[in-house]
């Protein structure tokens, strides 16, 4: 892949790691932002622009503005579309806060790709949430293992709207890529953890780990399960997909199945006695049903379909297709603890 590469969402938790990966490999990056002047004031971005002088160019790009990505696409060869909202609690209007930015944003970016006529490949950040919704869905797939061939069938505008937004956005991307001269690849990460390039702590992923360390869950954690992956591995996967001519289709990017208690125990092993409020036990299911809607914002329907149900995925495609090797989760958690301490977030 030749420079320049357009990157949307490059100031977010994952996007900033993708930006760093591209810069390290020598790419010129056309970084898009809804408010470029505001982003140019970010200290971490200014440091990157100084270190990689001339490799970062910032352009306006608003997911809900159909014409705002045209300038960024000028002369570009590749696009990584990583911009999409990630919120699973505190949602007041799912259509406005999640669905529209995800689906319309994907449509607006890909229409700009079409108009540019120079783009050869587009890598879209999707999610394991586009592959499955509730954990109980695993009972409906062969061998009880999710893979790239599966699609989320249980989420909707009113139930798990974030997961639904990821599905409709990815489906929109595949629909728009049919019979086009450019090639589409998607990366479908699991629950992303690991150190952040930015000093933001409002990411759902970062906040969960910070809450574990600071004692929000000191009475115990719900029996909920995820497939975890290091943010740096996900960023690397995006760039490998951009560069690999043979890469095609969806790529499930997840490493280790973990419960919330597994995550807490992993953090305790890395933190030692420094954070004594890391939870040590799992809440009984009955107590989670009682406290879940109040303490964490989980509905009874969500708990019924997810509580106590492990999730397993097949990540063989991304290993073989892109040659991606996942780093140990112990390293991921240790590095994230150190980063949160350095930034004063815990």
pLDDT digit string (tens) for 23-63?
Answer: 999 999 999 999 998 888 899 999 999 999 999 999 999 99
Element housing 259 (H / E): strand 256-259
* pTM of the full structure: 0.95
What number is the average pLDDT over the span 115-129?
97
Residue 61 pLDDT: 94
Token look-up 């699991």 returns: 190
Tens of pLDDT, residue by residue over 192-203, are 999 999 987 778
Task: Work out the pLDDT band at 336, boundaries 50, 70, 90.
Answer: very high
CATH number of the structural domain spanning residue 54: 3.40.50.720
Q: How far apart are CA 142 and CA 318, in angstroms?
A: 20
Confidence at residue 127, expressed as pLDDT on a 0 to 100 scale: 97
Average pLDDT over residues 2-31: 96
Task: Reply yes or no: is the peptide bond before residue 214 cis, omega within 30 of 0.
Answer: no
Q: Which class for 312: exposed (0-12), middle (13-18), buried (19 or more C-beta within 10 A)?
A: middle
pLDDT reported for residue 86? 61
- 85-99, 110-124, 166-180 — which is least confidently predicted? 85-99
Question: How sure is the predictor about 344, in pLDDT bands with cuts at 50, 70 and 90?
Answer: confident
Helix axes 260-271, 329-342, angle to 10 degrees: 70
The average pLDDT across 296-324 equals 94
Provide the domain limits for residue 319: 5-342
Reported as a single tens digit per residue, the pLDDT across 152-166 is 999 999 999 999 999
pLDDT tens-digit map of 58-94: 999 999 999 999 999 999 999 999 997 665 566 788 8
Number of domains observed in the structure of the chain: 1
């Amino acid at each position: 892949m030749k420079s320049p590469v357009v990157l949307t969402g490059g100031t977010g938790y994952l996007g900033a790691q993708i930006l760093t990966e591209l810069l390290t490999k020598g790419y010129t990056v056309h970084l898009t932002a809804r408010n470029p002047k505001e982003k140019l004031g970010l200290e971490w971005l200014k440091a990157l622009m100084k270190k990689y002088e001339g490799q970062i160019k910032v352009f306006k790009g608003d997911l809900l503005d159909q014409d705002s990505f045209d300038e960024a696409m000028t002369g570009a060869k590749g696009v990584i579309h990583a911009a999409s909202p990630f919120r699973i609690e505190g949602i007041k209007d799912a259509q406005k806060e999640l669905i529209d930015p995800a689906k319309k944003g994907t449509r607006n970016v890909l229409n700009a790709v079409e108009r540019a006529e120079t783009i050869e490949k587009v890598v879209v950040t999707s999610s394991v949430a586009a592959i499955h919704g509730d954990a109980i869905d695993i009972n409906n797939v062969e061998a009880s293992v999710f893979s790239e061939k599966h699609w989320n069938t249980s989420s909707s505008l009113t139930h798990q709207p974030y997961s639904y937004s990821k599905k409709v956005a990815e489906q929109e991307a595949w629909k728009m890529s049919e019979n086009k001269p450019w090639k589409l690849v998607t990366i479908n990460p699991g629950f992303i953890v690991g150190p952040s390039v930015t000093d933001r702590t409002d990411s759902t992923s970062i906040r969960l780990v910070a809450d574990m360390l600071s004692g929000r869950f000191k009475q115990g954690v719900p029996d909920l399960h995820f497939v975890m992956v290091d943010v740096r591995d996900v960023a690397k996967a995006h760039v490998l997909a951009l560069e690999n001519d043979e890469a095609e289709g969806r790529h499930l990017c997840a490493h280790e199945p973990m419960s919330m208690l597994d995550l807490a125990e992993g953090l305790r092993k890395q933190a030692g006695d420094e954070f004594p409020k890391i939870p040590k036990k799992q809440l009984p299911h009955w107590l989670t049903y009682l406290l879940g809607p109040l303490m964490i914002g989980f509905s009874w329907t969500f708990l019924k379909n997810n509580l106590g149900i492990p999730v397993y995925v097949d990540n063989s495609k991304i290993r073989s297709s892109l040659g991606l090797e996942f780093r140990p989760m112990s390293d991921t958690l240790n590095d994230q603890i150190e980063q949160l301490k350095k930034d004063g977030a815990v």
